[in-house]
Structure 1
Amino acid sequence: MSQDYAVPALAVGDFIEVETEIKRSRFICFLARITSRNEALMFQSSLKQRFPDASHHCLAFIAGPPEGNTVVGFDDDGEPGGTAGKPMLNVLQHKGIGELCAVVVRYFGGIKLGAGGLVRAYGASVQAACDELPVEQRVAMKTGIVTIDYASEQVVRHLLEGFKGEVVSHAYSEAVNLEVSLPEVEHQSFGLRVSEASKGQAIIRWSDE
């Protein structure tokens, strides 16, 4: 079963940007919502193109739920090993937010921070950005096909609306076939209500059952 969890309240292509300065070095943290390693790498690449003169473009991401068996990764992008990407990822993991990517663009200010200083600086940069990040709850959805007679269509549509679902597509032939999507926690109750309304004549085929 899929699960509900917190995710960035950002549309595709949107991001937030927060800049901090530590010993003359600029650390500009960008946060975006991603669902795969490839999307994270593409986001990092886009910032390398936007800031080609920056010293580093370090990456950390969680490409799924914040806990459990999920895809995570990081990239120090030329900083000493373990001083950038890993501390960035540690901050993300402690936030309990899924589908989150952080890229910190650094402009070196002429003063070396040392390994410990870099760890603190990159962690603080991501922390500052996360403090500004809008978050929403990702609701696990269930899809299926409801096959009903024409007389029951409007009743089923009304029931679906009450369960905060929607009709994704429809097809009309001898019967009505509605492709529906609704919160996973509601799908069994919805099925019972549809069965009652159609006097047991409706057929529901859920996508993963």
Structure 2
Amino acid sequence: MNVSPYLIPAKSMIFEEEIKKSQFITYLAHTPSIEAAKAFVDEIKAKHNDARHNCWAFVAGRPEDSMKWGFSDDGEPSGTAGKPILAQLTGSGVGEITAVVTRYYGGIRLGTGGLVKAYGGGVQQALKLLESIEKKITTQLIVEVDYSLISLTQSIMAQYGAVEIDATYDISAKLTVEIEVLHESDFILTMTNKTGARALISRMS
């Protein structure tokens, strides 16, 4: 399992251009799952149900996870739309993203090379304008400590960027902590060493 952070879209993006009287509208959106990607495609298809084509591709997880890729030429000649769109998405290093390119036909045929350039190029332009943010892969831990160890625990949490998201105080303090998976084992090791193994740490079930 790859636990390193990756980029995702910060917000949606639209890019429009006219090529030989055909209008191309490229939509990019953050879609964290295959279901969300398909829902976004359906949304754009419904919005432009009068268009000749609504071609699309998605990367619905980590950028390199090909199990979560999908694409469609939506009636354009095979290989001229979906694949060029997908190639731009996978080359961008951005994950959890869907691109839909709507085409209103202008009466002039572009040929296969022209179509590849139009669909891929529109997505390339939209990606240049896209704002992205880093998605960190996190996990949640239950940290149980004596009250005397709370300040020490909080300083170790700060050291590893761990965030307290819940706490219950009974015989001991029980903290629910969110932490990057990258830092999880180091955090547990440091907590164990610094508290003399008096901290009970378990993963959220």
Flag whether TM exceeds 0.5 (same fold): yes
Matched residue SS, 1:70: helix
Within a 5 Å distance, the mapping from 1:89-108 to structure 2 comes to 89-108=86-105
Determine which of 194, 200, 205 is the counterpart of 2:202.
205
- 1-structure distance, mates of 2:128, 2:188: 41
Runs of 4+ in 1 over 3 A off after TM superposition: none
- The amino acid of 1:202's aligned partner reads A
Judge conservation of contact 1:6–1:135 (CA < 8 Å) in 2.
no
Identity score, percent? 36
Q: Give the aligned partner of residue 181 of structure 1.
A: 178
- The amino acid of 2:99's aligned partner reads A
Q: Give the aligned partner of residue 6 of structure 1.
A: 6
- 5+ residue gaps, structure 2, are none
State the Cα deviation string for residues 124-164 of structure 1 (Å, max 9, x = none): 11111111112233222232111112222243233213321
Within a 5 Å distance, the mapping from 1:67-146 to structure 2 comes to 67-146=64-143
Q: TM-score, normalised by structure 1?
A: 0.88
Q: Give the aligned partner of residue 155 of structure 1.
A: 152
- 1-structure distance, mates of 2:6, 2:192: 33
- Please report how far the alpha carbon of residue 168 of structure 1 lies from its aligned counterpart in structure 2 after TM superposition: 2.2
- 1-structure distance, mates of 2:46, 2:79: 24
- Please report how far the alpha carbon of residue 9 of structure 1 lies from its aligned counterpart in structure 2 after TM superposition: 3.7
Q: Does 1:32 align with 2:23?
A: no
Distance 1:69 1:91, change over 3 A: closer
CA RMSD of superposed structures (Å): 2.0
Q: Give the aligned partner of residue 188 of structure 2.
A: 191
- 2-structure distance, mates of 1:77, 1:41: 14
Q: TM-score, normalised by structure 2?
A: 0.89
- The amino acid of 2:183's aligned partner reads E
Matched residue SS, 2:76: coil
Matched residue SS, 1:61: strand
Distance 1:41 1:78, change over 3 A: same
- 1-structure distance, mates of 2:53, 2:203: 47
Matched residue SS, 2:44: helix
Q: Give the aligned partner of residue 16 of structure 1.
A: 13
Aligned length: 205
- 2-structure distance, mates of 1:16, 1:34: 13
- The amino acid of 2:77's aligned partner reads P
Judge conservation of contact 2:9–2:97 (CA < 8 Å) in 1.
no
- Please report how far the alpha carbon of residue 74 of structure 1 lies from its aligned counterpart in structure 2 after TM superposition: 0.4
Judge conservation of contact 2:28–2:99 (CA < 8 Å) in 1.
yes
Matched residue SS, 1:102: strand
- 5+ residue gaps, structure 1, are none
Matched residue SS, 1:164: coil
